[in-house]
Amino acid sequence: MTGDAIRIEGLRKTYAGGKEALKGVDLSIPTGSIFGLLGPNGAGKSTLINILAGLVLKTSGKVDIWGWDQDRNPRQSRAAIGVMPQELNLDPFFTPRGALEVQAGLYGVPKAERRSDEILRMIGLEDKADAYARTLSGGMRRRLLLGKALVHHPHILVLDEPTAGVDIELRQMLWKNVRKLNRERGMTIILTTHYLEEAEEMCDEIAIINQGAVVARDSTSNLLGQLDAKTMVITPEAPPMELPQAAGISSEMRDGGLIALSYNAGETSAEDVLALLHGAGIRIRDVRTEQADLEDVFLELTRSRPAA
């Protein structure tokens, strides 16, 4: 398949009770990419993922998965996608092998085409193949969820916050597997996260979603270029007569007589900021810097760009 693995147009979801979780999302996800859906808690990431997975019914809009319209070809569109959900939803009385077999059965994968052993190996659960799920550690259960998402050999793998609250080892194992599936099988990967670094490290392209709307969508490198916002916060020896001004540096007073100078680290250096202060005769008693966090980035993006 060339072009887009997923195409979403005008997607809306209002939950019973009136919560508008998605407010008209348009989004295309290129085939073969590792695509990050980034956003704070409550942004609507899981809602979007669960609609793709067929677990949540959309209110309106159009969703194409692997070229199949979700409403007109529900079976084909479901078969194209495997989802590792955010919540652990395993039956405690199944063993890993049993859980994979049942899942394969649900997707109508014939016995001869099942790859339970291969999947167990990949997720590192060969030793636990026949242990009850309730005896598995949290990390093992997560790995099993990944395995379940793969039983029907989907073209598209979706991981909803796969690393929230997991240890470093599991995180690395997950990323290794995900990269491998992407590289060796050309699987399109979609992952949601609220960790900026994670999206940065893993994804070719990123959409940022906030309050049910896509506020930015770009290649990771283009987006990161906009994320260089830094702030230097100064405690001056004496309150200045006026705030120093310079191109590329915006300054404001903060409570307690602090001066906050914001600049883009890609264009302006800390030295430029210090020189500005020096030139304005402001002596520094104390200084600290603030990196833009995701919150700032959202604010910045929602201010400077119309919702896509």
CA–CA dist 236, 218 (Å, integer): 39
Name the closest residue to Mg ion (Cβ).
46
CB of 30 or CB of 42, closer to ligand ADP: 42
**Is 15 among the residues that bind ligand ADP (CB under 6 A)?**
yes
CB of 45 or CB of 128, closer to ligand ADP: 45
Q: Which stretch binds ligand ADP (CB under 6 A): 14-22, 106-114, 133-141, 232-240?
A: 14-22
**Is 268 among the residues that bind Mg ion (CB under 5 A)?**
no
Selection from ligand ADP, Mg ion, none that 165 binds (CB < 5 to 8 A by kind) is none
**Is 46 among the residues that bind Mg ion (CB under 5 A)?**
yes
- Residue 100 parent element (H or E): helix 96-106
CA–CA dist 172, 210 (Å, integer): 27
Q: Which stretch binds Mg ion (CB under 5 A): 67-75, 84-92, 127-135, 260-268?
A: 84-92
**Contact code string over 36-75 relative to ligand ADP, x by CB under 6 A:** ---x-xxxxxxx----------------------------
Task: Confirm if 268 and 249 have CB atoms less than 8 A apart.
Answer: yes
Residues 6+ apart with CB under 8 A from 261: 231, 232, 233, 234, 244, 249, 250, 251, 273, 276, 277
Radius of gyration over every alpha carbon of the chain, rounded to an integer in angstroms: 24
Kindly report the CA angle at 77 between 307 and 170, in degrees rounded to 5? 75
CB of 173 or CB of 223, closer to ligand ADP: 223
Could you tell me how many residues make up the chain? 308
Nearest distance from C-beta of residue 47 to ligand ADP, angstroms: 3
Residues binding ligand ADP (CB under 6 A): 15, 17, 19, 21, 39, 41-47
